Chain A
C-alpha cells in the first residue's frame, strides 16, 4: 500500500527560529512529491513540487529536499513567523494513474 508518514505530528516553535519537518514514503512508482500548507479553516495551498531528479526546491523561507533513493523528504522553515502556524502536508504522486498519497500533516504552531 502506498503510504506517506510525517513527523513530528505537531511542533511548537518560537518566532524567528528554524524548524524541519520530515516525510517518509513508500509510494511506488514515484512521480513527484509536493508540500502543501493548510491554514486553519482553509484549503491546502501548494508550497513546492519536486520530481525524481530534483534534490531541493525553495519557495521564500520554505526549502524542501528530496532523497528519492531513501524515499525521504524534508521541509525546512527558516526564521519562522506567526503566519507559518499551519498544517504542512506531504503529498506523493503515483506515476501513471493520477493518484495521490497524502500524509496526515505536521501541525506547526509558532509562538511569539
Chain B
C-alpha cells in the first residue's frame, strides 16, 4: 500500500554521534517535510523540500542536514547529536491535489 515509511522507528544514540533518519514515500509527491514533536510544543518544521535537489530551512534547522537526491527519499541527518535533539521526528508529504498532509509513523530518537 502506498504511503510514507520512516526508519528506524526507535533509536538510542550518544552525544556527538551522527544519526540519519530515513523517510521514503511511494506517491512521487513533490513536497516533503521533516518535523520534530516535543512535549509543550506543536510540531515544528526542521527542513522541507519542494523537489529533488531543492531543500530549504524551516523553523528549527540548526544541527540538522537534509538531502533529496531522489524524489521518494528525504533523509534527515544529525551530524553531531545533542541531548536537546531527543525528540520524535515525523516525515510528511502533501497530496498535490487536495493538499492533505500525510505523516509517517515517526522516529523516536533518544540522545544520551
Contact = CB atoms under 8 A, between A and B. Distances in A.
Given A43-B90, A49-B98, A98-B31, A4 B103 contact: no
Contacts of A4: 42
Interface stretch (A56-64, A70-78, A99-107): A99-107
Contacts of B105: 42-43
Given A100-B45, A104-B40, A32 B99 contact: yes
Interface residues of A, number: 21
Most B Cβ at <10 Å: residue of A93, A98, A103: A98
Interface string B41-85: 111110010100000000000000000000000000000000000
Nearest to B104: A43
B16 to A, nearest CB: 28
A82 interface: no
A32 B99 CA distance: 10
27 contacts: A4-B42, A34-B100, A34-B101, A41-B106, A43-B90, A43-B104, A43-B106, A44-B43, A44-B103, A46-B100, A46-B101, A46-B102, A49-B98, A49-B100, A89-B43, A91-B101, A93-B99, A98-B31, A98-B50, A98-B94, A99-B45, A100-B45, A100-B101, A101-B42, A103-B42, A104-B41, A104-B42
